[in-house]
Chain A
Amino acid sequence: MPPLMKLISSRLALGAVTLLAVSALMFVGIELLPGDLAQQILGQSATPETLAAFRAELGLDQPAHLRYLDWLAAAAQGDFGTSMASQRAVADLLSTRLTNTMFLACYAAVIAVPVAILLGLLSALWRNSLFDRSVNVGALGAISMPEFFVAYLLVLFLSIRMGWFPTLARIDEASSFGDALYRSFLPALTLILVVIAHMMRMTRAAIINVLAAPYIEMARLKGVPRWRVIVLHALPNALAPIINVVALNLAYLIVGVVVVEVVFSYPGLGQLLVDAVASRDFPVVQAVGLFFAGTYITLNVLADILSILSNPRLRHAR
């Protein structure tokens, strides 16, 4: 299937180019900044010696494209430089936090995806019923609330009032798997609620779209049982949009992690990123930002490719 391979490889190439563009973004941005970065961070009162030392530390004494290429070559080998705030290697800072963030995101995804798809399917089937309307109002509410509001509501009710879960999700290498699941339940639940709302609405819209097609009406008219219409006629055609919805929401989950981690002091990448931005710790911001952007881009490319694969019209080019 050469045309298909061509389509897929072009998507992959596009994703790689985008990622490269994002990695250059910070270097270009620092270059475009009015005045000198070292001067801006240290302020007007800095002595020329400290300024020179700081410039050397940032590598500002070299032209931007050289700095970028140096960084790129090192990053390709897993060396993301040294944190300006803690003087530790960025790669070391990242390793445990990366595991923690992935753990939280997977935890939420494993629960959210099946529940959301089921809810979306049911509310599309029983369209305009009481069930459909109440699920929709709930979803609209959850979408309109900032993540930190959902998180603090859960803390207030499930943790303070009921005392079922800890208010802060402190986990470390010593905590066992079960313990980690228990401690990070509230942050995971926050993510689940927010993501389910989005995913369920999009699934519902995708299914309703397919159910409105003429061949569904045709199947009904010739007396095909309802479950057969759904499973054999509607579902295969709704698969592409549903896969898309899932991938898009997993991408969304990766981003939602940032705010939720801060609320619960969860030791993950999101909190690291926010701290690094506040202290303008560029090597850390660059590495973590790139990780989030890379995951997001990968999931989007994956969504594209999977929906191509699930569509026979694209799979077998005429």
Chain B
Amino acid sequence: MKTLKSAPPTALLGMLILAAVLVTGVFAPLLAPYGETEIVGVEYEPWSAAFPLGTDNLGRDMLSRMIYGARNTVGLALLTTGIAFTAGAALGMVAALKGGWTDQILSRVIDVLMAVPPLILALMLLAIVGPSIPNMVGVIAVIYIAPVFRLSRAAAMNVVSQDFIQAAQLRGEGTLWLLRREVLPNISSTLIAEFGLRFCFVFLFIAALSFLGIGIQPPTADWGSMVKENATLITFGDITPLIPAAAIALLTIAINFIVDWMLHRASGLKS
């Protein structure tokens, strides 16, 4: 609680926005006036009392889809980042602990993954497996294993060179025990700040893929594809299609504020 009070206003604002989005996502069915895919009016109805943000290209309520979109877009981004982190951190720690061939092979594969722009790699992989939600989550998770692996390997390298690891190894502890009890607690603070940053990238990435029509597939409501579906309205000077895009930007800025503060705190505590 004390640390929360010392947070700068930007970080507090960030947390407020993040909390609002999370609450909206969790309680989406209670908050939304209409169903996610329910057709409730004619196409492109203007803003009114019945439809606060009008209706979309198929006559679905925009506001309801925005609310469900919070759940789908943010939920999938969290899931993807979670998978990438678990796998990336585990592999990175294993590489640092084992060294030798394990480290060499893993590092070279990761080098290749990092050498290709993520969007291009994702497009090539999605062409192979076909666009669908589980495939998209898998592909993005695989791509983002690479940076997490690099970070956790570098952080774990500093830990495994220390005496207590050798002591534990001499005691005869297994690899899993070493990773969980000796390495992970020492690199977790680095990983947590990285999680926020990677979540932003993954979130923007999913939005971009969905906008391109090869991420989250209709009729699932999602902020990226909502922009795409209703883009025609912009040519009539209507700002409605920009609302989901603005929501994406707002959430990313909010998380950046929080991460900045966390990184600042982490560096301040070290010096």
Contact = CB atoms under 8 A, between A and B. Distances in A.
Interface string B196-208: 0000100010011
B117 A152 contact: no
Contacts of A169: none
B87 to A, nearest CB: 17
A186 to B, nearest CB: 12
Interface residues of A, number: 50
Interface string A274-318: 101110111001100100110011001000000000000000000
A251 B116 CA distance: 10
A285 B123 contact: yes
B175 to A, nearest CB: 27
Contact of B130 (A40, A254, A255, A281): A40
Nearest to A20: B112
Interface stretch (B78-86, B91-99, B242-250): B242-250
B261 to A, nearest CB: 13
Query: What's the dominant secondary structure at chain A's contact region?
Result: helix
B252 interface: yes
B214 A274 contact: yes
Interface in A150-178: 152-153, 155-156, 160-161, 167
Nearest to A301: B115
Contacts of B213: 274, 278
Nearest to A18: B115
Contacts of A40: 130
Contact of A152 (B130, B212, B227, B236): B227
Q: Which of B120, B125, B239 has the most CB of A within 10 A?
A: B120
Interface string B220-264: 000010010001001111010110011011001100100000000
Contacts of A273: 120, 123
B227 to A, nearest CB: 6
A26 interface: yes
Contacts of B127: 26, 276-277, 280-282, 285, 289
Query: What's the dominant secondary structure at chain B's contact region?
Result: helix
B224 to A, nearest CB: 8
Interface in B100-123: 111-112, 115-121, 123
A246 B248 CA distance: 27
B159 to A, nearest CB: 27
Contacts of A152: 227, 231, 234, 241-242, 245
A292 B148 CA distance: 24
Contact of A144 (B112, B234, B256): B256
A41 B207 CA distance: 26
Given A29-B124, A289-B127, 12 more contacts: A26-B127, A40-B130, A144-B252, A146-B248, A152-B227, A156-B237, A259-B211, A278-B213, A289-B120, A292-B117, A293-B120, A296-B115
Interface of A: 18, 21-22, 25-26, 29-30, 33, 40-41, 140-141, 143-149, 152-153, 155-156, 160-161, 167, 251-252, 254-255, 258-259, 262-263, 273-274, 276-278, 280-282, 285-286, 289, 292-293, 296-297, 300
20 contacts: A25-B124, A145-B245, A145-B248, A145-B252, A147-B208, A149-B242, A149-B249, A153-B242, A254-B117, A258-B119, A262-B211, A277-B127, A278-B131, A280-B127, A285-B123, A285-B127, A293-B115, A293-B116, A296-B120, A297-B116
